[in-house]
Structure 1
Amino acid sequence: MGSMVWKDDKFGDILLESREDGIKLRKLFGLKMEGDAELAGRVSGLYDIFTSLGSHVNHQQIEAAEWKENEFCAKVKLYEGKMRYVTTWNRVGSLGIVKRTDTLTNLSTEPVILYKAMMRFVFAYEEWEAYVQNTRWCYENVGAWNPVHFGGVALACEGGRTTQGAAPFLALRNRRFKGAAFHLIPNGNWKLSLKTVSLGCSQAGEYGYMLEAGQSDEHFAMTLLPGESFSFPEMLIQSLEDGKLSQTAANLQKYFLQTDKERFRIEHPVVYNPWFEHYALLDEKRLKEHVQAAKELGCEVFEVDAGWYGSKTGDWWSQSGDWSEKTDGAFYGNMNKFVEYVKSQGLGFGLWMEPERIGEGTPVYEEHPEYFGKGNGFYYPKLYVPEVYDYIYGQIAGLIEKYGLCWMKMDFNYELGEDESFTEFYRYYQAWYRLLNQLKKDYPNTFLEGCAAGGERNDLHTSMTYDGHFLSDNVNCFDMQFTYQQCCLRMPHYRMIKWLVVNPGAKISLYDSTTIEKTDTLITTQHPGAGWDEYERIDPEFACQLTMAGMVGLSGNFIDITKEQKEVFRKYVAFYKKYRNFYKEALLYLCDDPKNVGDKTGFYYLQYHKEETDEHLVFSYRFATACDRDVLYLKNLNENAVYQVQDGVTEKELCKLAGKDLMYRGMEVYYDSRNSGKIFKISRK
């Protein structure tokens, strides 16, 4: 038994104590945690486990606790040796990040039912603010700071979609702007619950806060067979440096660059998907016009979205799960001929499917209803059953091989409902991630895009498994940028796909026009836009500047825009191709806490920094403000070096400035109009 401390002058100390009655966390990044007083088991320790053998509280004994320079591991015997709990903490001291990994194993000869398995953090009393992200369709990642009141904070996902309802992310800070951020990496339905707890009898009526995090225990009754282990959702814990989310995000992005080796698996091609013009109405003649537009703009993949499949009469929604070609519409059973046309134009071919949503009238459901569980209006495959896993894998692999796909978009448009395995979809997601990893291994040249009615399953586990993830069905160019900023607080920036969606607008007379000739305009969907019922005008340059900071795809109508507008998009597609691999090697610095969808006020800028070469790309934006200038203060430059500042797209030199001036005096930027932007390339000379 003993204590372990990781001393850190920058981020604050972490102090763990191993005792006979359990493991205590005394300090977390300098924050006061569980104190010295003997507390009831309900508010003490690092975990809470409840099984058919009872609560762990009176049935635990430390077997071993090992401390290394950057690792702590403790093994705890539970229920007189019938189960073992192991917690491992790995520290990245330079970034103020700890990764926590917990497992529970059944060592007995009989099955044990697991009802609750939660990581626990007990905080001493402070007045806290909490930052959480509300996530729903077209309003993904809407974040805000709010005071933590006596009722606490309760976060959870809904229906098997891991970011429907809330994101698995919680940041806390006290009045001194010290705090921590918690990132849960889900395996199905999850829970983050911060509540006030009484700490026992005292004259002051003392209470504190307890955070519980892990697999949802709402309908959880998992049978652990002898020798079987349950893995808690992993957690990344961060120091909230000076209470600023923007700095915390930079450290998190650096962590991803150090640990995410899979990001180089496949280069992201520029994809063109015409879904946001006519949606599921597929007309081959019109699609061929889109292919020509994609080719002209410099795109590399042409993708066909929903509406191409279904052997029976019905729309795209009802026939999900029947992946045979539609014969009474779309390509009339001859899509391979269209695929050949796409490839003859020098483009790769991509396809949409939704393997997790099965309609009741589909042939496979009629033949094998036992393969599926009841979801919200549809059925989900019981992937933890080997023959069902093999069937779904075969359906996806069959499409990749039949059409020679270099891009596969896999959607997830509904709630899974109740989990028939009683594990809150733990077993389901273990199988799903295994399936995706097997696809990547078997088809190394196929880019796998994740989508979940936009971003309703955009968590760390999912985004790290797909090659890229659709951010939102809200494809308003402004909101796409704001959703991305918020997402970068908890996700790797280089795995998020922003969609540039436009349509030709009307010819209008602009207020400041100097001629009676009307101007051709371009429109994007109105906030929060997944459709064209309402729309707003946008400058083509600004549309590109908002969406091409990171992975991008094109959709809408690029056929009927003007020659001048096409030239703008062609220029920016070429710009993106030049820098697409740069993003995978670059840190991202947010200038401040991010904006939310709909907030088209003031200024904002993003700084991408490739440390190895000291190169920077800076995207700066002026929104609806009367002020025509802003000052950019860049981060992590060499104070004594001189930097060349260029236009990021044309590479025309604009000036040379010392690193200390760029950081401390700033770089003044002038904008020609509201809702306009600049891209700067900044290189060390």
Structure 2
Amino acid sequence: MQSSRFRELINLIGLLLVGIAPYKSDCSSALSTPVDDSRKSSPTLAAAVPLPFEKVLPGPVTDYEIVTASGDFAREYLLRTFRLPAEGFRYVQKLGRSSNGIKPWLLVRNVETGEGVAVSLAYSGNWILAVEPRGENTVLRAATSPASLAPFDTIGGLPIPGALVAEFSGDWDHGAQPIVRYIRKHLLRDMGEDWPPVQYNTWYADYDRLSQKAILAQAKAAAEMGCELFTIDAGWYGGTVPEAGWVGALGDWTVNHEKLPDGLEPIAAEVRRLGMKCGLWIEIERVSPNSPVGREHPDWFLRDGEKPFERRGSYTLDFGNPQVVAWAKSQIDRLVADYKLDYLKMDFNTNLQLDSERFAGVEDVLYRHYRGLAELWRHLRAEHPDLIVENCSSGSLRHDVMTAAMTDTHWVSDNVNPNMCLAMNHGATYLFPPETCSHWTIVPPWGLKKYASRDADHAAIESSFDPTTQFTVNMMGHLGLSGRIQDWDALTRKIAAERIALYKQIRPIMRKADVYHLTAQANPDAPKMMQAALYVDPETNRAVLFAYQANDPRLEATVRLKGLRPDRRYRVRGPENLELPESSAGHELIENGLKLRFPNRGASAVILLTGERGA
């Protein structure tokens, strides 16, 4: 996470989002628009394939449309659907971070037949995705860049580098779900009944200006509201360079006693006394030249030829060097042992810009680097099996199927504006299991910060959501809090505690759910349409509906549900002010929908549906 990059958000505001529409429906249509679900694909798993991968699709490229997901900083997972032009589509990743620009994920389908193919890549370096004409037909191609890279690992039957591929028919969800199912079944670890834990992270309270007094006050407030994990973000380190700031101290993974005079031990002890797990932030791949390792081993810097990869005065270490990997293992092993860590937030805040195509036929430096990083992650799993590892990279700019297989959860975006959270969480659940998509609620809503002064207060922006909804938007994934929660008023704390308690009730469903996106993705810059998604656990026949009024001109809407059993009757439980029925037949919910009456603009609803025998 790097606060300075939020300045980029100013330049990004105003970009338009093209929402994802159900098959053969109007993108701007109401929630009650019928969806052609007659060609619904049966629950299947994607296939794991090596790269490069090619699939010939019948007919000209102009017969096809595709969906991509944005990887732009602070605008991740915004979905774009478009009909292919005569030249088709081609994207070559050159930034050295798999998900920067667009995600390494694509769905393509024939506009007339609805037949399509979904692909998601398992490689954190550079890659190519293309849907292009070939004679009278169309070809889908996925490859690493350069294309000659051999697998260096296999996890759950998936070669890495490799890809998950699924053929589908009908809705976009039918292409996305088999990939998500494979990730959950074959790549994720069983994290227990309390997964994912509700967390608090210190970052948006004071950024890297940490103090023991503030941290302890935040820990007390977090525990009182029901948080189960407390993570200290960037700024705790730099013992030999205490004035260097969070970037200038990278590589010196010793406690900064000017900020934390008593060290981390009493903080970690108090966090545990309060009943929470303890986590720590680290960016192990980058170092400052002023840190001990930077001064002693400039030969360890990752280079393109003679030029090291540098950003803001810090350098990336070369994980293709076994000595570097050994050093990284020793640093993390020490931190886990010294502070009895339960959670490690592993960040990476720089691009490794490289034209990998010029390395055709040989390994590029990125490949060797990511092979070494994979070795580090395997080491952590082997030596610290109870350690939860979060993948972060300036948000989710390096999250793909490879990182999903080797870590446990991921940070969706540095942008925590509630409007954005709603849209991005909706999009992220097309690509990954919701329990692995971490996002936090900050109160008051965080928007564009005044960067003229590091001491400036958060700039106030108008949110489209009421206070309860500002928490509910992040319940669609791995829920967390941040900000100065010790200063929240009694009402805000009460709402947070209620939302957290509800989240703990529904997360067993989330861990096993197929996600059905019932509406288009709301415009994050100015939401003016309702958004809804249904999480269905096919094993227990239970479901959770997340519905958001999102500044729509209407307060009433009917949501046609998907994924339910038509032969079952469903008990319906939700907010009393929505005037919900006590129960409804599955076929009625599918064919006619569930009517919602929101009490106010910006409201939301979390509705539990439990299937019973007999319609």
- For normalisation by structure 1, the TM-score amounts to 0.74
1:280 and 2:183 aligned: no
SS of residue paired to 2:247: coil
Distance verdict in 2 for CA 1:574–1:361, change over 3 Å: same
Q: Secondary structure at the match of 2:443?
A: strand
Q: Whole-Å Cα distance in 1 between the matches of residues 259 and 333 of structure 2? A: 22
How many angstroms apart in 1 are the aligned matches of 2:323 and 2:539? 48
Is 2:536 aligned against 1:600? no
Where do residues 231-246 of structure 1 align in structure 2 (5 Å cutoff)?
A: 233-242=161-170, 244-246=171-173
Verify: 1:289 aligned to 2:217, yes or no.
yes
Residue 423 of structure 2 corresponds to 482
Using the TM superposition, give the Cα deviation of residue 444 of structure 1 relative to its aligned residue in structure 2, in angstroms: 2.4
Kindly tell me: are residues 300 and 651 of structure 1, through their superposed partners in 2, closer, same or farther at Cα, counting changes over 3 Å?
A: farther
- Aligned partner (choices 321, 345, 350) of residue 251 of structure 2: 321
Picking from 235, 238, 250, the partner of 1:307 is 235
Structure 2 counterpart of 1:267: 195
Q: 1:528 to 1:615 in 2, by over 3 A?
A: farther
1:553 aligns to 2:480 (yes or no): yes
- The answer to whether the aligner puts 1:132 opposite 2:68 as a matched pair is yes
Q: C-alpha distance in 1, partners of 2:545/2:601?
A: 18
From the superposition, tell whether residues 148 and 528 of structure 1 become closer, same or farther in structure 2 (CA, over 3 Å).
farther
Structure of larger gyration radius = 1
Residue of structure 1 aligned with 2:95, choices 159, 165, 181: 159
State the identity as a percent.
24
Q: Which runs of 5+ in 2 are unaligned?
A: 1-40, 153-157, 303-307
Q: Which one has a larger percent strand, Structure 1 or Structure 2?
A: 1
- Indicate which of 372, 385, 388 corresponds to 1:431: 372
Q: Tell me, yes or no, if the aligned pair for 1:479 and 1:527 is still in contact at 8 Å.
A: no
Choose from 50, 57, 64 the match for 1:102: 50
Shift of 1:355: 0.4
Residue 211 of structure 1, aligned match among 134, 140, 157: 140
- Tell me, yes or no, if the aligned pair for 1:125 and 1:208 is still in contact at 8 Å: yes
Question: 1:407 is matched with which residue?
Answer: 343
Counterpart check, 1:663 vs 2:583 = no
Task: From 267, 270, 285, give the equivalent of 1:341.
Answer: 270
Partner residue in 1 for 2:122: 185
| SS of 2:441 mapped into structure 1 | strand
List gaps (5 residues or longer) in structure 1.
Answer: 1-92, 104-117, 200-206, 504-522
Kept in 1: contact 2:225–2:497 (CA 8 A): yes
Contact 1:325 1:333 in 2 (8 A): no
Which residue matches 1:449?
390
Separation in 2, partners of 1:528, 1:679: 34
- Structure with the bigger RCO (C-alpha within 8 Å, sep 6+) is 2
Separation (CA, whole Å) in 2 of partners of 1:581 and 1:424: 42
- Which amino acid is the alignment partner of residue 478 of structure 1? N
Matched, 1:647 2:574: yes
1:221-240 equivalences in 2 (<5 Å): 233-240=161-168
CA pair 430-684 structure 1, distance change in 2 beyond 3 A: same
Deviation at 1:349, TM superposition (A): 1.9
* Counterpart residue number, 2:19: none
Question: What SS does structure 2 have at the residue aligned with 1:625?
Answer: coil
661-670 or 364-373, which deviates more: 364-373
Q: Could you tell me how far apart the structure 1 residues matched to 2:277 and 2:504 are?
A: 16
Aligned: 1:141 with 2:77: yes
- How much has 1:290 moved relative to structure 2? 1.0
Corresponding residue of 1:298: 226
The structure-2 alpha-carbon separation of the partners of 1:573 and 1:132, relative to structure 1 and needing over 3 Å to count, comes to: same
Q: CA deviation at 1:552?
A: 0.8
Which range moves more in the overlay, 329-338 or 604-613?
329-338
* One-letter code aligned to 2:466: D
| TM superposition shift of 1:351 | 0.9
Match of 2:459 among 529, 533, 542: 533
Corresponding residue number in structure 1 for 2:548: 621
**Structure 1 residue 533, shift from structure 2 partner:** 3.2
> In angstroms, what is the RMSD of aligned CA positions?
3.1
Q: Is the 8 A contact 2:425 2:477 kept in 1?
A: no
CA deviation vs aligned residue, 1:168-227 (integer Å, no higher than 9, x gap): 112222330332222222152111133344x4xxxxxxx54443321112xx887999xx
- Cα deviation digits, residues 332-370 of structure 1 (max 9, x gap): 362223322333333322111100111122111211222
Given that residues 356 and 412 in structure 1 are in contact (C-alpha distance below 8 angstroms), is that contact kept between their aligned partners in structure 2? yes
Determine if contact 1:157/1:167 at 8 Å carries over to the other structure. no
AA aligned to 1:181 is A
Among 47, 55, 78, the residue aligned to 1:121:
55
* 1:302-343 superposed Cα distances (whole Å, 9 cap, x missing partner): 21111111111311111111111113x310362223322333
Paired with 2:282 and 2:179, the residues of 1 have a C-alpha distance of: 32
Q: Contact between 1:215 and 1:424, CA under 8 Å: does it hold in 2?
A: no
Give the counterpart letter for 2:389 in structure 1.
L
355, 358, 369: which one aligns with 2:298: 369
| CA 214–536 in structure 1, closer or farther in 2 if over 3 Å, else same | same
- CA distance, structure 2, for counterparts of residue 449 and residue 308 of structure 1: 18
> Deviations for 1:117-153, whole angstroms, at most 9, x for unmatched residues?
x333344542222322231110112221223223332
Secondary structure in structure 1 of the residue aligned to 2:535:
strand
Q: Does the CA-based 8 Å contact 2:577-2:599 persist in structure 1?
A: no
Is the 1:95–1:255 contact (alpha carbons within 8 Å) kept by the matching residues of 2? no
Are 2:425 and 2:473, in contact at CA under 8 Å, matched by a contact in 1? no
Matched, 1:571 2:498: yes
Q: Which residue of 1 aligns with 2:323?
A: 387
SS at match of 2:246: coil
TM-score in terms of structure 2 length: 0.81
1:612 shift after superposition: 1.8
3-state DSSP of counterpart to 2:132: strand
The alpha-carbon deviation at position 392 of structure 1 amounts to 0.5
Where 1:383 maps in the other structure, the secondary structure is coil
Q: 1:187 to 1:285 in 2, by over 3 A?
A: closer
1:633 maps to amino acid: R
TM-fit CA distance, 1:384: 2.7
Cα gap change, 1:355 to 1:596, in 2 (>3 Å): farther
Report Cα offsets for 1:602-654 as digits up to 9, x if no partner. 11211111222211111111111221111122223333332211127999995
Give the helix-richer structure, 1 or 2: 2
Worse overlay, 262-271 or 160-169: 262-271
> Partners in 2 of 1:638 and 1:119 — Cα distance?
36
Deviations 1:14-58 (A, max 9, x none): xxxxxxxxxxxxxxxxxxxxxxxxxxxxxxxxxxxxxxxxxxxxx
Contact 1:187 1:215 in 2 (8 A): no
